[in-house]
Structure formats: C-alpha cells, structure tokens
C-alpha cells in the first residue's frame, strides 16, 4: 500500500510539474520571440550607426612628397638632385581631439612603439617590416606608421586634432635604461641633459648627405650624463592643431613642405645649432607651412 500511494503521488506531482512547465515554456517562447524582434531592431539600428560613424582604433601616419605617399627608398628630387630617406623617425605625444570646443585626450595603447602616451613613428627599411609581428626575441624592425589608440574613437563629430611633436619634459631626460620602449632607443637619444631627438631625418643624396635632428637646446646640467632640473631654454617641442579634412583616418607629414626653401648639402645639416640657416627655415616651415595635415 504505501508503495502504491507513493507512486500515485509521484505521478500527480509529475503532471503538475509538466503542466507548469508547459505554461512557463509558452511564456518563455513568447518572451524569446519578443526579444528576438527587439534584438533585430537594435542590431539593424546599430549596424546603420556603425556604417555612419566608424570608431577608429588607429590613426595612420603617412609621409607624403608632393601630394603622394612615398614608399621606402623611393628617390625624390630636390633642387634637381636625387635624395632618399636614410632614416626618418619622430615622436608624437599629447594627442588630443576637440569637439565643439571641448578637448579630449586620446590615450595610446602600450607596446614596443608606444608608452606613457608617447609614440614613435619610424620610416626606414620597409623590407624589415615583416619582423615586427614577432612578439619575443630581438627585433630589427624599422618601419612603423600608425598611432594605436587605447580606446576606439568616433571621429565624425571631431573637428580638430592636436599633438606635440616631441616628448614632454618630465619624460625627456630620464635614464634611458630604465625607460620603457620607445623611450629607450639609443638612435633617438642625445644624452640625459639634452634628452631625445624629437625628429630625426637623415637624407642620402647621390653625392651628399644631409640631416635634421629636432630636440631641446639650452638645457643646463652638470654634464651630458646628468638631467636638467629646469625646463630647457629652447624646448623645441612643437605643437600642432589641425582641422579635419576628411574622415580623420590619416595624419600626413609633408616632407616637401618641411624641406621647402632648405638647400640640402653637406654643409647645411640642422642639428639644432643656433643661427644655422637651415634650422631657421625648417622651424619656420613647421610653424606656417602646413607640414602636417589631418585627413
């Protein structure tokens, strides 16, 4: 008897559960249908939004000569002489955008090419570009042409891009051995006193060579191996505020505009010597010759 009783109870209970389940399922089914419709609507609106306003996670940085991008080792003609970029590299920091007068900092991701919101761009030896993907071991990569943003940004409403060509004083004169890449690269470092080369352009001609190294001058310290405690007399950190020309995807360095009016030869290298004519001309070009353009 007790056994039969138990079985009946089990059956009844089971039926009740089933019934309840059926009701719940029906409700669930309906809810799911509604959700699906909602998701579909949301997705389609999101898609159209994405098409209209792409969020970018990088800004390409290209080098142009006479309105066209120059490829590695391409020969360019200046003063009827052939020249080729032997080395070109520069630091960009303090990257900002502004939208209706409101400025917003664009933090950079951290990798071999970027740290402390300072990025190194480098345009040498395209052939060695491939080795960049390697994540460990020695790297002899010499080509890197984009700013990687820590948070993707929708540039559609953004009107202006601001940045500094150079490295902030607080980061510029530190022991390079204890700094993160790219703030520890010997070829871009002068000394603790003078800090980094903010821009390095080494040009090679058929019969001559020419160089331009931008960096702070009039920095005072006990020796080349000691850091200045006060801002350098001529920081030479150049700031740019550029209106957006197109979608904001590309920042362009116009090499021809940078070198406009500068005679390139063995005697005119600009290594920030005071009164060097080529330096005066380049700094003038940097100030008012639209050397950088934001497209």
Residues that bind another protein (CB under 8 A): 84, 86-87, 89, 112-113, 120, 122, 124-125, 136-142, 175-182, 184-187, 189-191, 202, 204-211, 222-225, 266, 269, 271-273
Nearer to another protein, 87 or 162 (CB): 87
Nearer to another protein, 196 or 254 (CB): 196
Least distance from another protein to the Cβ atom of residue 151, Å: 25
Per DSSP, the residues of the chain read -HHHHHHHHHHHHHHHHHHHHHHHHHHHHHHHHHHHHHHHHHHHHHHHHHHHSPEEEEEEEEEEETTEEPPTT--EEETTEEEEEEEEEEEEEEEEEEETTEEEE--B--BTTEETTEEEEEE--GGGGGGGG--SS-----EE-EEEEEEEEE-TT--EEEEEES--HHHHTS-GGGSPTTTT-GGGEEETTTEE-SEEEEEEESS-EEEEEE--BS---SSTTS--SS--SB---EEEEEEB-SSS-EEEEEHHHHTTT---STT--BSS-TT-HHHHHHHHHHHHS--EEE-
Nearer to another protein, 3 or 177 (CB): 177
Nearer to another protein, 48 or 273 (CB): 273
Least distance from another protein to the Cβ atom of residue 71, Å: 15
Least distance from another protein to the Cβ atom of residue 82, Å: 11
Nearer to another protein, 136 or 229 (CB): 136
Least distance from another protein to the Cβ atom of residue 239, Å: 25
Least distance from another protein to the Cβ atom of residue 219, Å: 12
């Amino acid at each position: 008897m007790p056994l039969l009783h138990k079985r009946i109870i089990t059956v009844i209970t089971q039926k009740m559960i089933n019934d309840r389940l059926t009701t719940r399922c029906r409700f669930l089914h309906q809810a799911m249908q509604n959700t699906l419709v909602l998701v579909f609507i949301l997705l389609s609106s999101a898609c159209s939004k994405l098409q209209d306003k792409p969020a970018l996670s990088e800004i390409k940085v290209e080098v142009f000569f006479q309105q066209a991008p120059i490829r590695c080792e391409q020969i360019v003609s200046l003063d009827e002489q052939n020249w080729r970029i032997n080395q070109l590299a520069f630091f960009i920091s303090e990257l900002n955008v502004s939208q209706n007068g409101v400025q917003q900092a664009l933090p950079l991701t951290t990798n071999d090419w970027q740290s402390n919101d300072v990025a190194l761009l480098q345009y040498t030896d395209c052939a060695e570009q491939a080795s960049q993907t390697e994540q460990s071991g020695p790297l002899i990569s010499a080509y890197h042409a984009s700013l990687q943003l820590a948070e993707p940004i929708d540039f559609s409403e953004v009107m202006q891009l601001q940045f500094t060509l150079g490295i902030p004083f607080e980061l510029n004169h530190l022991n390079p051995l204890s700094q993160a890449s790219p703030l520890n690269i010997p070829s871009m470092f002068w000394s603790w006193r003078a800090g980094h080369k903010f821009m390095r352009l080494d040009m090679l001609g058929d019969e001559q060579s020419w160089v331009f190294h931008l960096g702070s001058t009039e920095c005072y310290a006990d020796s080349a191996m000691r850091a200045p405690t006060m801002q350098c007399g001529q920081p030479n950190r150049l700031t740019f505020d550029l209106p957006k020309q197109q979608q904001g995807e590309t920042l362009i360095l116009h090499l021809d505009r940078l070198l406009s009016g500068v005679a390139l030869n063995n005697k005119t290298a600009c290594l920030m010597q005071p009164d060097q004519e080529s330096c005066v001309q380049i700094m003038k070009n940097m100030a008012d010759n639209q050397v950088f353009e934001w497209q």
